[in-house]
Structure 1
Amino acid sequence: MLIVILVATPSLVVPSTGADTAQIVIVLSLLAGFMTFIEYYGKYPSIIEFRFAPPLNRCKFFALAAILFSLSMIVRGTTDPTGWTDGLTQFGRGLGEAIDFPYSPVRLVVLMMPANADVALIDMVRIASGISYTFSLAMILYFVTLVRFLGWPARSGAFNVWVNLPLFDPTGGGDVLHRLRRDAGLNIVLGSLLPFLIPAAVRAASNAIDPISIANPQTLIWTMTAWAFLPASMFMRGIAMSRIADMIEDKRRRAYAEGDAMTGKGLQSA
């Protein structure tokens, strides 16, 4: 139910949603909710990672919900302003202006817009990108705190690689540690670079992709959310896989030390 509400939030909050768009969103939200229910109800993993390593997925859900709700309320405030929408708009404008410095992701998103774009649209893009990027950074910082200071995921019990990483095959060849660290590094690099590369790619392909289409409220909300949230999720996945690799390495080291100790005792007894 939470996933259904999450996907449907922009269409429920923004008053200018068309009937056709609302029907499509209803179908997609029900499909997403059904897939999530099947994934968490089933005993065997299929797609969703870190099912039994809370609160990683919980953290992602609340961050995504905060981004979607904030952007939806801000867009709603353009036609039906209230105290809440005005406050969120001012908050987002402050974040956008604070992060909008040279070579920042927010500045690149603003520069992605064509020169003939409306000033109000550019301001809205700055506000949306500032809020979404700030929430994504907060999500990453919270997860890093869990890993570094609260011992995630060891404090949740034994970590099962097969259940929590269903898309990772430990028997795929090569050392598991090497593959985990390689995948972790790749996810961290992509998660760091994509907020910069996506606006540059859209700007370079402006002949095929019209950035002005972001003026549609639904497009604005989902585009800014995906631009900030997906790279942050990849960054968190890289941190998680690096942490798992460290846990496996520590366990191997302890096992080797115990084996050497047992061997030494056996030699002394003989």
Structure 2
Amino acid sequence: MALFSSGSRSNDSREDYSAVAGDEAKPLREQHEHHAGDEMSGIHPELYAMSRSLRRTNLFLKIIIGMLCVCLLAILSINVPDTMRRIVKSAKCDDEPLIKTPVPPLAKTKMTFEKHPIYGQRPNPVSDEAWNKLLPDGRGFVYIKDWEKYELPPGQNTSYGMIYSTAVFHQMHCLGQIRRFSYMFLDSIHKNDTVMQREIDRMFVKNDHAEHMLHCFDYLRQTIQCGGDMAMEWPRTEPNGQRFAVDGWGIPHECKDWDAIEKYMDKNHFDHSTVDEIAPLIGASG
């Protein structure tokens, strides 16, 4: 039974159909080569040779480009992770230490700056005591047993071990010295105190305390730049309601926990210091 048939066919038509079907059944590559051969047979031999040469050159270039891409990917796979880590670390402002230190990570705290008049008073027993209490036992020096581990140069070698100064208390000492010297200058001029003037001459000319003070100016400058405190400060409100002067009081800051600093110092301080003043006039150096 014929389904959806158009009717009977003659023998000739079947033969023609078989020839077409047979041609369609040939592999495509064989057909392509056959037709290509027919086309090339009509081309000048030099043009045909040039065409084959271009095909070989094109294949060679593809291989070279592929090899270069593989090499480039290999290089990127090695360098990109480190580069990306540096970029991500920079973007996150990671707190990972840039230098080795025996001091453990210190907690941070929010501290609002307030006025404490005692620290601005002229030297007297009460104000001097307040300043002296800012220094821990050992005047800011600590023992470091395994100092080589932290790639430190040798410190001060004592019979009890190697000791080092901690920067924050060196900075506090410098500020204390400037406070003491400033009031000495003011008193010698304002009161025309000739005795004080002679003492200043002795200290700053003969004992070279001037160099010490100049050192402190430069040292504290770099300390401030290093800390880079970018807290936003707003002006105070004047009695008449105007706001134009910034005094820094009442401004919150992100600070290292002072209690944590004192705890570290209490555990590691040099306990054979014979000086407990923040700004001694005798042996006042560094």
- Bigger helix fraction: 1
Under TM normalisation by the shorter chain, which class is it? under 0.3
Higher relative contact order (CA 8 A, sep 6+): 2
Q: Which has the higher strand share?
A: 2
Taking structure 2 as the reference length, the TM-score comes to 0.22
